[in-house]
Amino acid sequence: MADFLVDVKEGKDFSFPKEEDEIMKFWSDIEAFEQQLKKTEGMPEFSFYDGPPFATGMPHYGHILAGTIKDVVTRYASATGRHVVRRFGWDCHGLPVEYEIDQKLGIKSKDDVMKMGIAAYNEECRSIVTRYAKEWETIVGRMGRWIDFKNDYKTMDPNFMESVWWVFKTLFEKGKVYRGFKVMPYSTTCNTPLSNFEAGLNYKDVSDPAVMVSFPLIDDKDNAAMVAWTTTPWTLPSNVALCVNPTFKYVKLKDPATGKVYIVGESRISQLPGAAATTGKKGKPGNVGFERIGEMLGTELLGKKYVPLFDYYKELEATAFRVCNDLYVTDDSGTGVVHQAPAFGEDDYRCCIAHGIIAKGDPLPCPVDDNGRFLPIVTDFAGQYVKDADKDILVRLKADGRLVNNTSMVHSYPFCWRSDTPLIYKAVPSWFVKVEEMRDQVCANNLKTSWVPAVVKEKRFHNWLANAHDWAVSRSRYWGTPIPIWANPDFTEMKCIGSIAELEALTGEKITDIHRHFIDHLEIPSERGPNFPPLKRVDDVFDCWFESGSMPYAQAHYPFENKEHFEKTFPADFIAEGLDQTRGWFYTLMVLSTALFDKPAFKNLICNGLVLAADGKKMSKRLKNYPDPMEVVNKYGADALRLYLINSPVVRAEPLAFKEAGVFAVVKDVFLPWYNAYRFLVQNAIRYREEHGEVSLASVDLSKVDNVLDRWILAATQTLTREVEEEMEAYRLYNVVPRLLTFIEQLTNIYVRFNRKRLKGAKGPEDTLRALGTLYSVMVTLCKAMAPCTPFFTETMYQNLRRCEPGSEESVHFCPYPKAAAGLKEDVHIQESVKRMQTVIDTGRVLREKHTKPVKVPLKKLVVVHTDDLFLADIAGELKEYVLEELNVRELETCNDVLQYATIKAEPNWANLGKRLGKDMGKVAGAMKALTIEQLKQYEVDQTIEVAGYTMGPDDIKVVREFKLPAGRTLEEVDAGGDGDVLVMLELEQDEALLEIGTAREVVNKFMKMRKAATLIPGQTVEYYIALTGDEAANSALAKVMANQAQYIASALATPLLSMDDIGKGVPLISESHVTSGGQPFTLAFCHPTVFPCLEALSVLAGGDKDMAEGLAVWLASRDPAALAEEAKGVVQVKLNGVDFSLKLGEHFFMSAADKVALQLSNLKL
C-alpha cells in the first residue's frame, strides 16, 4: 500500500517538550537551517542585523522575546522567497566584562590595573568573554531560533575592530570628531564616564544632605549674603560662581535676631528658615519673620563679587567668584540661587564658559581624581572620597559661619549599573562625535524608516534625536577597541588611523591584534621632522555603544572585504530589540549611518516592550521573582513560550508581567485543541482508508466541495493567508498572531466540532472524503502559515501530513508561504454568514444560561432577525442543522422585518470618526440619532450615507438592534439578545415532547461519556443496553420516551438501544452505570457485539436435547462475529458429540443482539 498517515497518541499522552526534542534531533540530522539557506541562494537578499548581547551572563526573557520576534520575521522572509543570512554576534568589550574581572581579582582602582599591567588585565578579560557562549547557543537553539553561531561575529575580532577604526577615521576626516570636556555621569568605582543611557539604568531613592550656604557680597551696603542651596556639599570646594535667573525678583531679608542680611528669590522666602511670618498656635505668638529691606531683579545681581568659601582656587579671583545670569535656574526648589562648580555640572560648565569665569581649553577647577577622592589641592579634605567628605565640609562651613541651614532629603539618584555605587557628575576629557550639527539629517533619516509600533519612532525616538547632544564616544578604560588617534603632547599634531595596514606602514611594525596592549607602545614619527616628539596613541578606548553602532559595517569587515555585497544589502531590511534601545543601539545605528552615508541603517524595526515579573516589578536574579526560562520550556515547550510572548502587549512596546500560568493557558487553549483536531483528522482518515481502500487526501478536488462549512473553512483559509501576508509585510506581529489564533479556534470549535459526524462517515463515503480532504488541506496550510511562530509543533504535524504528498518538501520550513489556492476564492459572503451563525449560537447559549436552561434541555423555537436576506437564506438553509444541533432547538425561523422584534438605532464608530470629525463630533452624533429607520436600512444596503455634511462609510456607523418584547409575552416565555447586528429570539417554554427529546439526548450523552471513560477508540462498535429500574409508573413513562425517541437514539448511537433482557447469556459488560434523570432511575450498559444464539431454535434442531442445544450455544458464543460472518455465508456446519448440525444465520443464531431485535421488530410489523 502507498505511504499514508500514521496514527498518533492521545492528547493526554502527547508531551510537547519531548516532541520538540525529537524535532531538534531531526533538524540536526538533516542540517535543516543549512539546507534552508542553500535552497534560497540566488533569491533576493533579506538583510537582517542582530544586535550583539554580552556573553558574560545567561539569556533572560528579554533576550528570548527579541530572539523570537527576529526568528518569526526571518523565517517568514525565507518562506516568502528571500535569502536570509542570520549571523549571531557577541558584544565582547566594555564595562560588563571589566567589572567581572575587577570583582574576580579584587581590583578597586586604576592603580591596581597599572600594577597588574594592561596586557595581563586585558587577557583576563578576553578569557571570560565567551564564558556562556555554549549555553547561549543551546538555549537559543532550544527556543527554535535558527541563527548561525559558527559564522558569528565578535566585537573583539581584529577584523571587526579594524572596521570600527575605519568608521571613526571617516568621521574624523569629515570634521565630525573633536576633543573636549564633557560633564558626564561618572563611576568612581569603574573609573570611567557613562552615557546618559547607562546612567538612567539604575536610579535609587537615597537620603542626601540639603544645605543652605551663605556667600557674602563684597561692597554691599547692607553686608548682604547670597544664599545658595545644594544637595552635593562635596562640590562646594570647587565653587567659582553663583547663578540667578535674570527674570526672577530677589529680596533682601534681615534676620531681627542676628542682624544678618540674606538674598533669596522672592518666591522661595518660605524655604529660608525663620524668614516667613507664621501665626501662633494655642495662644502662643507666631514668628514675625525676617524684615524685607530691599528687592531687585536677577539682572541687577549680575557681576557682583562675593567672598569665596575656600581659597583652593584663589588664582581665579580675576574672573571668578561672581554672580551669573541664566534661565536654567528655576524656582521649584532651593533658594533661586545656584552655586556653580563647572567641573561637576553640565549647566555649571556651560554657564561659566558663557560668563568668562573659565575659558574653553583651560584647566578646570576639578580637585577630584579618577577614584572620586580629593586631590592635594583641597588641603583640608585631601584623599577623602567625596561623598564621605560631606560631613567634614559642613563642619568646616559651620565653623566659618557660612552654614545657614543643614537638613537632608530623599530623592532619586543615579547609581552605576555595574558596581551599584553612586555616580557623580564630573567633567572629563573625551572624544566627541558632533551629533548636534547633524540633528536635522538624523531626524530626516528617521522619517525614512518604518517602526512597529510607529508611536515609538514618532514620539520617543524622534524627541531624543531632536534634542540629541554631541556624543562622547571615548572611555578611560582598557578592554575595548582603542581610539585610533596618535597625537603629540599638546594635541597640535594628530593622526587618525583607519586600518591595520596604515598603522603598519607608519610604524614599520607587523600587527596581528589592535587591543591596547599590542599597540599602545607604537609611536608614529612627527611629520614635522625628527626634532619634534613622536606621536603617541591617546589612552582612551571606544564606548562599546560606538562598536555596536558600527556593527553593520564591522561584521562584514567593510570596506576591506564584502564591499559590493554590503552596499547592495544596506540599509538592513529589518532589526528588532527592546524599548530600552531607543537611546542605545537604535540611536547609535542611526547617528553613524547618517554621518557615514546620510541614510538610515535599517528600513524596518520592531520595538518590543519589557518583560517584568508577575508582580509588575523588574525581574531580579537576587529576588528570584520569575521562573527560569528553561524550566518553563521543559515543562510546556518552546512553542508555548514563543506564542505567549508574541501574543502579548510586548509586541506593541508595552510591558508584560510574565506569568507562567499564561504559558500553560497557551498549551491548554491553543495547542491541545489544535492537536486534537489534527488527531481527529488522522484517525478518521485511517479509518476511511481501512473501510474504502487506497485514498489520496492531497488529491481531493476542493473546487467541487458543496458542503457549506467546507466552503467556509476553505474561504477562511484564503483570507487568513492573505491577511497574514499583508500584516507580516508590514511587520505588525500584534495583528498576525491574534488572527492565526482566531483561525485555530474557528477550525477546532466550528469546523471540526460541527462536522464530527460527517468526518466519521455519517453522510456517505463521497461526502466523508471531501470533508477529510478539506480538513487535510486546511491543516497543511495552517502548518505552513504558523511555522514561523511555532516551528516545532508545525514540523511535528507536517512530518505526518506530508506522507500523503509524495515529493513534498522535507521540512515545513522549506515550504513556500501558502498563497491562495487555484480554483478557490475567499467568498466573503459565506464567511460573514458563518460569523453571524456563531453569533446566533453564542447568543442562544447566553440566553439559556440566563434563564437556567441547560443545552441538554430541548427548546421549541429560535427566531433570527436581520435585514440581510442572503444571510437569512443561509441560516435557514445550509447552516440550519448546525444551529439546531448546537442549541438543541427543534425549529428555526427567520425574519427580515427588524421592527417586528426590535428597535434600531445608529451609533457612531468613534474609533474611526474621532480624529476626522474633531469639533464637529457632537453635531454629527446628533444627526445620526435623527436618522430614520428607512435611512438606516438603506445605509446597510449602500454602506454609505451623508450625515451633517460628512460622507459615512461602511465602518463609520454601527446599526444597533435592541429587543422589543412581543405583545402578550413575558420574559419568562421569550427572550432575546444579540451583538447589535444579529438579533436572536429564543422561546423558553417546554412541552411534553420537548421533555422527551431532552431525556433521549441525556441518555445519548451519558453513553458518550461512558465510552470516553472506557477509553474506546472512535468508531469502535458496541451494543448499548438500558434497564428500567424504577417503579411501575416511572418505568412505563420512560419506556414510552424510549419508544418515541428510538429513531433519534439509534441515529445518534449508530445502533438501536436494546433492553438488558436482550443481552446474551454470559456476555461481559464493558461499562455499566446507574442513572437518575427527572426522578426516574435506570441503568445503562454496553458490551462488545457477540454472536447471539437462539436457544429455542437450537433446542428444536437438537431434537429437544437441552444439553446439546446449550453446547451449540456455547460454541457459537465463543466465535468471533467477524470471522463467523466470513465463514458462515448464511449457514455454519458444526459437529458436536459426533452429530453434524447445520446452523442457519437468522434462525439458529444472530450476529448480534441488535440483529435479533431488528428481526423481531420486522416480524411484528409483518
Which residues belong to the active site? 52, 91, 545, 581, 585, 618, 621
Q: How far is CA 294 from CA 222, 253, 263, 421, in A?
A: 10, 7, 9, 45
Question: In sequence order, what are the residues at sequence separation of 6 or more whose Cβ sits closer than 8 angstroms to the Cβ of residue 755?
Answer: 707, 709, 771, 775
Residue in the block written with cell 458543496 = 706
Question: In sequence order, what are the residues at sequence separation of 6 or more whose Cβ sits closer than 8 angstroms to the Cβ of residue 1034?
Answer: 1028, 1079, 1080, 1081
Query: Quick one: how far is CA 183 from the chain centroid?
Result: 38
d(CA 22, CA 439): 52
d(CA 434, CA 675): 58
Q: Is there a contact between 404 and 248 (Cβ–Cβ < 8 Å)? A: no
Q: How far is CA 771 from CA 134, 697, 701, 708, 710, in A?
A: 48, 10, 11, 11, 7
What percentage of the chain's residues is helix, strand, coil (to nearest 5)?
45, 20, 35
Using alpha carbons, select from 265, 268, 241, 250 the residue that is nearest to residue 324: 241
Question: In sequence order, what are the residues at sequence separation of 6 or more whose Cβ sits closer than 8 angstroms to the Cβ of residue 47?
Answer: 85, 569, 570, 571, 572, 573, 574
d(CA 398, CA 209): 14
Residue in the block written with cell 463515503 = 765
Q: How many C-beta atoms lie closer than 10 Å to residue 10's C-beta?
A: 11
ω before 571 within 30° of 0 (cis)? Answer: yes
Q: How far is CA 1074 from CA 102, 1032, 1082, 1084, in A?
A: 76, 18, 6, 6
Q: Is there a contact between 64 and 630 (Cβ–Cβ < 8 Å)? A: no
Q: How many C-beta atoms lie closer than 10 Å to residue 420's C-beta?
A: 10
Q: Is there a contact between 438 and 594 (Cβ–Cβ < 8 Å)? A: yes
Query: Quick one: how far is CA 152 from the chain centroid?
Result: 26
Residue 655 C-beta-side C-alpha neighbours within 13 Å: 10
Q: What is the CA radius of gyration of the chain?
A: 42
What is the maximum span of the chain, computed from C-alpha positions, in angstroms? 148
DSSP H/E element including 481: none
Q: Is there a contact between 825 and 715 (Cβ–Cβ < 8 Å)? A: yes
Q: How many C-beta atoms lie closer than 10 Å to residue 318's C-beta?
A: 6
Alpha helices in 1059-1133 (DSSP H): 1095-1101, 1106-1117, 1121-1128
**CB environment 608-623: b (16+ within 10 A), e (fewer):** bbbbbbeeeeebeeee
Q: Is there a contact between 184 and 472 (Cβ–Cβ < 8 Å)? A: yes
Q: Is there a contact between 475 and 542 (Cβ–Cβ < 8 Å)? A: yes
